Amino acid sequence: MNDDILSHYMEAGALAKRFRDKAAAMVVPGESILELVDTIEQAIRDEGAGIAFPLNISINEDAAHDTAGPGDERLFSEGDVVKVDLGVHIEGYVADTATTVDLGDNALLVEASRAALNAALALVRPGVTTGEMGTVIQHEIESRGFRPVANLTGHGLSHFSLHGEPMIPNISMNGGAVIKEGMVFAVEPFASSGTGMVSDSNRTLIYSQIASRGVRLPSAKRVMDQIQDRRSLPFAKRWLTGDKIDLALSTLKRSGVVRGYPVLHDCSGSLVSQAEHTLIVTEDGCVITTL
């Protein structure tokens, strides 16, 4: 990795950490989710950095991919378990980091994903396998009485790309990828009081472009104009302006130009925590960019 790229990753990491902590401090009962995400996303833009994906605020059994919708009136409540998952990029080099804010009495659940993340990070060096990381993640979470979310994983990061190799499982696995110097990836254990499997809910607030193809529908064209500069990185429905946005998005989805990321949830009444850092593998360990 050359020095320019390394400095972009480090700068993105420092900003992501700062805005993650600032966002987490705004998670207070009675505070508006829409106001939080608007404030933090604007602060990232004001810094001259890029938003790698819409600020994810996922509550209780919702594990990931929730954010404020247009005109969202939801407020944080006493007792909520709130995941704040934030991504910043500098020239396309991404930092992805998350923390959980406990507005109730779920300190052990929050500790489970945090301890799992720390244990996995402590293992990272060339030659270790992603399967070994999954084993320690599962152990830390289960030893606290929770289930790791088996169908969510950590992931490699590359230029303008969020979900590449290697995949870092949150459960024990034989083999897996061998970690090599220079790899950049995010590790993100989720601990759940529910089933440990997430599925799509019926709400979708985040999308990304997956193909470039001409579209005729005027409202769809307007959306395409507005997401052009995303370079395939995810965007929020609430960022779009103009009429007939629902029609535009469903048309673009049907024609395979965009995909949606439905809110992912565990079973009703369960609680999920998450912790996430981005790292760069070095000769004998790793540098955590979002620490």
User: Using CB under 5 A as the criterion, which residues of the chain lie in contact with Mn ion when the complex forms?
Assistant: 85, 96, 98, 186, 188, 276
Q: Which is nearer to Mn ion, 66 or 188 (CB)?
A: 188
Q: 41, 61, 72, 85: which is the annotated catalytic residue?
A: 85
- Which of 21, 163, 225, 246 is flagged as catalytic? 163
Task: For Mn ion, give the closer residue by CB, 100 or 138.
Answer: 100
Biggest CA pair distance of the chain: 55
- The 199-209 sheet, strands edge to edge: 62-64, 258-265, 199-209, 235-236
Q: Is 155 a catalytic residue?
A: yes
For residues 58 and 135, which CB has a smaller minimum distance to Mn ion in the complex? 58
Residue 276 is among the residues annotated as catalytic for this protein: yes
Closest contact distance (angstroms) between CB of 186 and Mn ion is 4
Least distance CB 96 / Mn ion (angstroms): 4
| Residue 20 or 147 having the CB closest to Mn ion | 20
Nearer to Mn ion, 138 or 278 (CB): 278
Distance CA 65, CA 80 (A): 17
- Taking the complex as a whole, how short is the minimal distance between the CB of residue 245 and Mn ion, in angstroms? 25
Distance CA 275, CA 191 (A): 9
CB of 181 to Mn ion, least distance (A): 21
Tell me which of 62, 132, 276, 277 is the catalytic residue: 276
Taking the CA of residue 290 as centre, how many other CA atoms within 13 Å lie in the half-sphere pointing to its CB? 30
Catalytic annotation, pick one of 188, 265, 266, 277? 188
**Annotated catalytic residue: which of 8, 65, 89, 155?**
155
Give min distance, CB of 215 to Mn ion, in A.
Answer: 30
- To the query of whether residue 65 is one of the catalytic residues in this protein, the response is no
Catalytic residue among 96, 102, 140, 266: 96
**Residue whose CB is less far from Mn ion, 232 or 250:** 232
Q: How far is CA 28 from CA 139, 248, 276, in A?
A: 31, 35, 21
d(CA 136, CA 109): 16
Q: Smallest distance, Å, CB 15 to Mn ion?
A: 14
78 is catalytic: no
Catalytic residues: 85, 96, 155, 163, 188, 276
